[in-house]
Amino acid sequence: MRIVHVSAEVHPFAMTGGLASVASSLPSALHGAGHDTFVITPLHSQEGVDLEWLDGPFRTPDGMEFGLGKSVIPGSDCPVVFVASNEYFNRRGLYGPTGSEAWPDNAARFSFFCRAALEAVSRLGGCDVLHCHDWHAGLVPVMSRLQGGPPAVFTIHNLAFQGTFPLDQFAATGLPTAMAGLDGLEYHGGFSFMKGGILFSERVTTVSPTYASEVTTPEGGFGMEGLLLQKRGEGRLEGILNGIDNELWGPEDDPSISPWFTPDSLRRRSACRSALLEECGLTLPDSAIVAGVVSRLTWQKGLDLVLPALEGLIAEGRLSLAVLGTGESWIEDPLSAASRRFPGRVFFRREYDDPLSRRIYAGCDIFLMPSRFEPCGLSQMIAMRYGAIPVVRRTGGLADTVTDIREGGCGIVFDGSEPEALRQAVGRAAEAYGDVRSWRAMQRSAMRIDNSWTARVPAYLEIYRKASSGGWIEKNHGCRAPGRDLHRGNTDR
Ligand code: GLC
């Protein structure tokens, strides 16, 4: 079976979040297991990419020219095909000039990307299943269905970002206008790429089983809950847990940390802890617990709760805090202020720094993820692999990957989204930390949990098999499949 992944970002070429990690590690794991697979992604920047240009010219059905370049994912040799366009890509920001601002032509950019991706697939010999990730690839299933192309699997990494645009930009999609209606992409008076992906894919997945339930509720569905509930009823929605790439992440041979350690040489980890404290200028005694955070600083991640929850412990000299990440200034600014107010106790680095993130994973005692919602989350799995005990809110993939010590697990899981809930959770961690032997045992168990991608591959293969076994229109009860007239409309444009 041939599977083509379509994603707006792929690590290490372009990355703003976990999507890029998954779009790199999942295809790599499939490729490593001997399956025929490759990834299609925009060429956001050619810097440092070893490209082999394919003989063109390549044109979308509406006549836009683009280039196709081939490379491989470093470490796995899984092929990557880049869609090159100076008009739409090759810009400083992937989605906008800054993290919070969008490019005004995003609807046109990602419509073009979807058209070009489908054209690339057919020029490269077709495939059995298209695996499309998040809204940026959401029109691929729609276009493929209209053209009678391959079936699609659509994975929701984060439903909060839906690619919704005003209807007056619908022409940019190149889709027939009939597709702008309620049975098509219409969404609250505009239109949504995400809705297209959900509606026109044979299978929809989320990145954890708990998230697959949450997206069918008003709190977690961000307006799409009705549609997703219907998909769930049809047996077309399920959650598959993300994994982590054990070749990329692991304290046994990570070049950014020293010394290396394994569950059997856990004592060596204390040198990583001391090195982290020194690097961050944290001076509290060893009896104080070291809390680490590596995250985008957005409302979703709940990191605005950290200071209100932990200021007391910090002021009393019982907790040191090391935070690495960038994001929204309403979260960044109080952290900067706290690092000035509590020198030697709070460290804040406002950037994404991969080597430092690894030293935080390897050196902190507890790793905080108080996310308001979390489709899966990768950092808690990485933290456990490096022997840090995760303190997480019971939501999405955090609920699926972390089990509380009270239930025999090796993490702290709390309910509630007020600072007091986090304070109590950290209080429980600090108490457990007092018992050195059982803490070490817990760290060892955490390190031994298998969250590798290899463990997840069979579930995806099953989804691909179901998606490619056909019969989409016959089996599609709830939503009307586009008829021949729409198909003709498309080619008439
Ligand atoms: C998004 C989600 C995160 C998930 C990642 C990869 O960034 O917010 O929870 O782990 O995608 O699927």
> Is the CB–ligand 1 distance for residue 207 below 6 Å?
yes
Q: Give the Å distance between the CA of 158 and the centre of ligand 1.
A: 6
Ligand 1: atom nearest CA of 371 is 9
> Is the CB–ligand 1 distance for residue 242 below 6 Å?
yes
Query: Per-residue confidence of the chain (493 residues) as pLDDT tens digits?
Result: 999 999 999 999 999 999 999 999 999 999 999 999 999 999 999 999 999 999 989 999 999 999 999 999 999 999 999 999 999 999 999 999 987 899 999 999 999 999 999 999 999 999 999 999 999 999 999 999 999 999 999 999 999 999 999 999 999 999 999 999 999 999 999 999 999 999 999 999 999 999 999 999 999 999 999 999 999 999 999 999 999 999 999 999 999 999 999 999 999 999 999 999 999 999 999 899 999 999 999 999 999 999 999 999 999 999 999 999 999 999 999 999 999 999 999 999 999 899 999 999 999 999 999 999 999 999 999 999 999 999 999 999 999 999 999 999 999 999 999 999 999 999 999 999 999 999 999 999 999 999 999 999 999 999 999 999 864 543 443 333 333 333 322 222 2
Q: Which protein residue's CA is at the shortest distance from atom 7 of ligand 1?
A: 18
Closest residue by Cα to residue 489 from 139, 178, 168: 178
Rounded Cα distance between 302 and 456, Å, is 28
Rounded Cα distance between 39 and 80, Å, is 5
Question: 3-state DSSP call for residue 98?
Answer: strand
Helix (H) or strand (E) holding 219: helix 218-221
Rounded Cα distance between 481 and 234, Å, is 15
E strands, 299-395, in order: 319-324, 346-349, 366-369, 389-393
Ligand 1: atom nearest CA of 207 is 12
Reading the block at residue 324, the tokens are 């690495």
Q: Quick one: pLDDT at residue 99?
A: 79
Q: Give the Å distance between the CA of 17 and the centre of ligand 1.
A: 7
Radius of gyration of the chain from its Cα atoms, rounded to whole angstroms:
23
Question: 3-state DSSP call for residue 293?
Answer: strand
> Is the CB–ligand 1 distance for residue 375 below 6 Å?
yes
437, burial (CB in 10 Å: exposed 0-12, middle 13-18, buried 19+): exposed
Q: Give the Å distance between the CA of 156 and the centre of ligand 1.
A: 9
CA 162 → CA 107, 198, 227, 299, 468, distances in Å? 11, 11, 13, 17, 26
> Is the CB–ligand 1 distance for residue 387 below 6 Å?
no
Rounded Cα distance between 382 and 388, Å, is 9
> Is the CB–ligand 1 distance for residue 377 below 6 Å?
yes
Rounded Cα distance between 432 and 405, Å, is 9
Rounded Cα distance between 457 and 30, Å, is 7
Q: Structural domains in the chain?
A: 2-243+454-488 (3.40.50.2000), 263-447 (3.40.50.2000)
Q: Quick one: pLDDT at residue 100?
A: 80
> Is the CB–ligand 1 distance for residue 157 below 6 Å?
yes
